[in-house]
Chain A
């Protein structure tokens, strides 16, 4: 019996979301009186023994370069083997792009019940009940997993990473690999920008900015806050901004610590993409904008006047800190 945590990597480095699931998984193990182990696929340049800081006792690594790209079919096979080899009865993923590609596949392979989009530690007092967000963040469901092996995939940014002391044992795991049926021909990363789903701060713009030529005020603020930039659906549809920035029910769902909405009215479909944010700030000239009802802080005013001042005040605050 143990808890096995899948550690996601990109370009030979462990992703931020992985540290959250490591911390979370170690806590699950503690709660169940067992050990937390990690699984790393592919080659990574990070020091794996240092994952002990997050409460991990053992790191299993399948250090095969063909696993540096995520092929869900290969991954599912390898991860299922690792679950069996390590005797894990709880397997944890981040509900990020990789988790969405792989976790459910592993579940079907192992016939293990899965809860995706988990947002809290499981309740193990009577069975195994996991809380997850449903209806695009408008509600929670408490879901019981009734199979011997249980899989959780945790919403990014929903558990605080905590690092302490410790060193993990690193052990190579040999799993025979099939040839991949998926041939990756290109990887296009948006360089120099903070990935939207991993960002601590998101600055988002709506129709209130009146046109793509006015995005400078938003970009200045985002730069000052090291924030990712996002937009509402009408902005994406009008091609003012690339559509991968569209946040909402049918776009990207984000859960940053701080979401700043500029000139966005806050339609229910937009809120569905941002309601897991910890703090929401709304700047809008319309006091009746529905977004104010979902906000923690707000300014009713002309964003073209308010936002440059805000950027300046943040700069001042940082300079004095």
Chain B
């Protein structure tokens, strides 16, 4: 059983969001980089749990990015990945990135490909679906539970106003969110072991960038809160009805 876990490097959730270079680039000054929480907490940890149940499972990690991704990959290896592949390319286009991952996936012959439900920077929610299409596999998005019985996966996914449970034969691509697993902290043994685990750097395959970021903008600042006295709740109702027109 071979599992491929897609890893993305994102700014920490508390990072100040600012832009430089005429609002064309994310301002990286002072930013802490982390593994995208959906990739780490849910998809990677679930893969590790499957490996803990069945020692024949191997977990490969893949990321698309420059050498600045290596500390993030090492952390993912410390948590429990066996090997990592970094495709040495920078892109903000989801098709280009998915094409790289699909190429790694095809060469590696994986039974299971995990992604997070989205990366917390570009919020694309696209890579899983694209990779699935490019490797011609079923895709289950927004998974909240993942169980494996031999070569059949039972997956619960979020749908509007509830959930759907489905069975699917491997190989399958799954995007994971809260519920699939719980966050873990790497231990010292894992951190030491990660130093010597293989991290292979490969050059990208040819693929088009179908989109490009023109610029970024910050939302206009809020006008400021209008405070209403706790003894005058009727005034809040009036404001919501007459001024904001939301009730």
Contacts and interface: CB of A to CB of B under 8 A. Distances in A.
A239 to B, nearest CB: 13
Contacts of A145: 210-211
A141 interface: yes
Given A115-B211, A298-B228, A183 B166 contact: yes
B159 interface: yes
B213 A141 contact: yes
A101 B141 contact: yes
Given A97-B160, A116-B125, A268 B14 contact: yes
Nearest to A292: B225
A85 interface: no
Contacts of B214: 129, 141-144
B240 A135 contact: no
Interface residues of B, number: 85
A235 to B, nearest CB: 13
B167 A183 contact: yes
Contact of B138 (A73, A250, A258): A73
Contact of A144 (B157, B212, B222): B212
Chain A CB within 10 A, most for which of B126, B140, B165: B126
A250 B178 contact: yes
B216 A139 contact: yes
A281 interface: yes
A73 B222 contact: no
B124 interface: yes
Nearest to B152: A183
Contacts of B41: 250
B230 A112 contact: no
B30 interface: no
Contacts of B225: 282, 292-293, 295-298
A15 B127 CA distance: 25
Contacts, number: 282
A305 B214 CA distance: 49
A100 B174 CA distance: 12
A185 B167 contact: yes
Contacts of A108: 95, 98, 129-131, 133-134
Contact of A113 (B11, B93, B216, B237): B93
B240 A116 contact: no
B123 interface: yes
A140 B129 contact: no
Contacts of A30: none
Interface string A158-202: 000000000000000000000001111111111001010110010
B130 A257 contact: no
A114 B210 contact: yes
Interface string A96-116: 111011111111110111111
Contacts of A185: 154, 165-167
A299 interface: yes
A276 B216 CA distance: 17
Contact of B132 (A105, A113, A244, A310): A105
A197 B161 CA distance: 8
Across the A-B interface, give the 9 residue pairs with the lowest CB-CB distance, nearest first.
A301-B230, A113-B210, A195-B161, A104-B129, A104-B126, A189-B162, A108-B133, A108-B130, A105-B129
30 contacts: A72-B141, A97-B141, A103-B129, A104-B98, A105-B133, A106-B133, A108-B129, A108-B133, A108-B134, A111-B208, A113-B93, A114-B211, A115-B211, A117-B123, A135-B11, A139-B217, A140-B217, A140-B219, A141-B215, A185-B166, A188-B162, A198-B160, A244-B158, A269-B14, A292-B227, A295-B222, A298-B225, A310-B233, A313-B234, A314-B237
Interface of B: 11, 13-14, 17, 19, 37-38, 41, 93-95, 98, 117, 120-134, 136-142, 144, 154, 157-169, 175, 177-179, 208-219, 222-223, 225-230, 233-234, 236-241, 244, 246-247
